[in-house]
């Protein structure tokens, strides 16, 4: 069935995620790990949308490969109005992409490997508009929340103040010049006020380098910084992960994220796992400037995902057992 739907995926990616308009120059960027049927479907969708569309296939580069693109690839990226990225090669950080964005090039990207069903269903079978409305409504609540408490049956119990902290909605859409977004969305996030964050999170979902835990890992946090990691072998590996970074800021809590996509499933793919409706992600280390937080500069970032939990905002339940509180105007996604 999946093979029958890549054309549908491609149309939604071009139209809804990359927001391609007739007459624009669209570069579909694939690498040697990309399924060429998907890449060609996007080429066809771009042409059908009236865009001047090219498909470029580059040799796959490892995530640790900091080599810059050659002049040919760089020119293709810089010359495009919009780039639709379909490759595991991390091209967003390359100088050519950074320069292209400064000149207005939009970047919409995904990597479907390991989350194929979600890549299709997460943009084709969801109410994208409603997800964004719900995210905005949550943002209105969070920015006024003095006491946010997150608990779970496994023992999570952590609280923090979020008042005044800007809301970031990850909608997956690259509609504005110079923007870069990864799809499918949607999630809503902010940076809790760092020195108010205290408690314990019990991680039962995704941990670095992007896999599910075998057994829950308990992470103790004091004034926004990890002070203890306990559990089985996964806890040892998580401690080793932070130690290996060599960056003391790697353990600073830098964002709080709630997934809102009802068709995402916990799978071991970090992008899909953090978008599961009601999944709670805590990010550590490098903090996006848009969060307006106080975490010092850091060269690394990682995410710890709780598959479920209860979020209370100043005593009101916002989300519990992967269901949003409809009484707060958050219905329509379940
Ligand atoms: Fe993160």
Ligand 1 centroid to Cα of residue 270, in Å, is 10
Q: Do 203 and 197 form a contact (C-beta atoms < 8 A)? A: no
Ligand 1 centroid to Cα of residue 280, in Å, is 11
Instruction: Give the pair of three-digit tokens for residue 119.
Output: 């890549």
Q: Do 304 and 203 form a contact (C-beta atoms < 8 A)? A: yes
Helix or strand or coil: residue 319?
strand
Residue indicated by tokens 């595991």: 88
pLDDT of the residue at 2: 73
pLDDT of the residue at 97: 97
Instruction: Give the pair of three-digit tokens for residue 27.
Output: 């570069």
Q: Do 217 and 203 form a contact (C-beta atoms < 8 A)? A: yes
Ligand 1 centroid to Cα of residue 257, in Å, is 8
Complete DSSP assignment for 187-236:
EEEE---GGG-EEEEEE-SEETTTEE-SS-EEEEEETTEEEEEESSHHHH
Ligand 1 centroid to Cα of residue 189, in Å, is 9
Rg (CA), the chain: 20
pLDDT of the residue at 64: 82
Taking the domain 2-113, which CATH number applies? 3.40.1830.10
Ligand 1 centroid to Cα of residue 297, in Å, is 15
Q: What are the strands, taking DSSP E only, across 32-86?
A: 52-58, 82-85
Return the percent helix, strand and coil in the chain, to nearest 5: 30, 30, 40
pLDDT of the residue at 66: 86
β-pair type (157-160, 148-151): antiparallel
Largest interatomic CA distance in the chain: 57
Ligand 1 centroid to Cα of residue 22, in Å, is 34
Q: Do 277 and 187 form a contact (C-beta atoms < 8 A)? A: no
Ligand 1 centroid to Cα of residue 287, in Å, is 8
Domain boundaries, the chain: 2-113, 127-328
Q: What is the model's pTM?
A: 0.93
Ligand 1 centroid to Cα of residue 42, in Å, is 28
Instruction: List the pLDDT tens digit at each of the 334 positions of the chain.
Output: 677 899 999 999 999 999 999 999 999 999 999 999 999 999 999 999 999 999 999 999 998 888 999 999 999 999 999 999 999 999 998 999 999 999 999 999 999 998 999 999 999 999 999 999 999 999 999 999 999 999 999 999 999 999 999 999 999 999 999 999 999 999 999 999 999 999 999 999 999 999 999 999 999 999 999 999 999 999 999 999 999 999 999 999 999 999 999 999 999 999 999 999 999 999 999 999 999 999 999 989 999 999 999 999 999 999 999 999 999 999 999 7
pLDDT of the residue at 63: 83
Give helix 95-102 / helix 71-78 axis angle, nearest 10°: 20
pLDDT of the residue at 4: 85
**Omega before 184 cis (within 30°)?**
yes
282/251 Cα distance (integer angstroms):
11
221/177 Cα distance (integer angstroms):
39
Instruction: Give the pair of three-digit tokens for residue 263.
Output: 């068709």
Ligand 1 centroid to Cα of residue 60, in Å, is 24
Question: What's the chain's length in residues?
Answer: 334
Ligand 1 centroid to Cα of residue 305, in Å, is 10
Report which secondary-structure segment, H or E, holds 40.
helix 36-48
Residue 146 Cα distances to 222, 281, 294, angstroms: 18, 19, 17
pLDDT of the residue at 334: 74
Residues 6+ apart with CB under 8 A from 297: 249, 286
pLDDT of the residue at 1: 60
pLDDT of the residue at 118: 97
Please compute, for residue 206, the number of CA atoms within 13 A of its CA located in the half-sphere on the CB side: 24
pLDDT of the residue at 38: 97
Residue 298 Cα distances to 29, 71, 251, 256, 330, angstroms: 29, 30, 10, 17, 35
Ligand 1 centroid to Cα of residue 255, in Å, is 7
């Amino acid at each position: 069935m999946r093979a029958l739907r890549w054309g549908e995926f491609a149309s939604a990616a071009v139209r809804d995620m990359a927001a391609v308009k007739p007459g624009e120059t669209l570069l579909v960027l694939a690498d040697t790990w990309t399924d060429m049927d998907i890449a060609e479907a996007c080429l066809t969708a771009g042409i059908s949308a009236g865009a001047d569309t090219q498909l470029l296939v580059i040799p796959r580069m490892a995530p640790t490969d900091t080599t810059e693109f050659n002049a040919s690839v760089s020119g293709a990226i810089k010359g495009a109005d919009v780039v639709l990225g379909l490759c595991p090669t991390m091209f967003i950080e390359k100088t050519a992409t950074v320069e292209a964005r400064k000149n207005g090039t939009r970047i919409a990207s995904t990597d479907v490997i390991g989350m194929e069903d979600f890549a299709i269903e997460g943009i084709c079978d969801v109410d994208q508009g409603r997800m964004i409305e719900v995210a905005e409504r949550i943002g209105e609540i969070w920015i006024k929340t003095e006491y946010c408490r997150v608990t779970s049956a496994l023992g999570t119990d952590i609280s923090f103040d979020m008042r005044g902290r800007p809301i970031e909605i990850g909608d997956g859409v690259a509609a504005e010049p110079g923007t870069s977004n990864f799809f499918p969305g949607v999630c809503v996030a902010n940076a809790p006020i760092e020195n108010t964050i205290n408690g314990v999170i019990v991680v039962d979902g995704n941990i670095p380098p992007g896999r599910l835990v075998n057994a829950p890992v308990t992470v103790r946090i004091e004034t926004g910084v990890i002070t203890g990691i306990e559990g089985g072998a996964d806890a040892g590996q998580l401690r080793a992960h932070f130690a290996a970074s060599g960056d003391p800021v790697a353990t600073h809590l830098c964002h709080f994220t709630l997934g809102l996509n009802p068709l995402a499933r916990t799978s071991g793919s970090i992008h899909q796992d953090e978008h599961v409706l009601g999944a709670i992600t805590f990010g550590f280390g490098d903090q996006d400037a848009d969060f307006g937080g106080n975490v010092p500069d850091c060269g690394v970032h990682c995410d710890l995902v709780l598959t479920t939990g209860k979020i209370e905002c100043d005593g009101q339940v916002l989300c519990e057992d992967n269901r949003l509180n409809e009484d707060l105007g958050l219905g329509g996604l379940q």
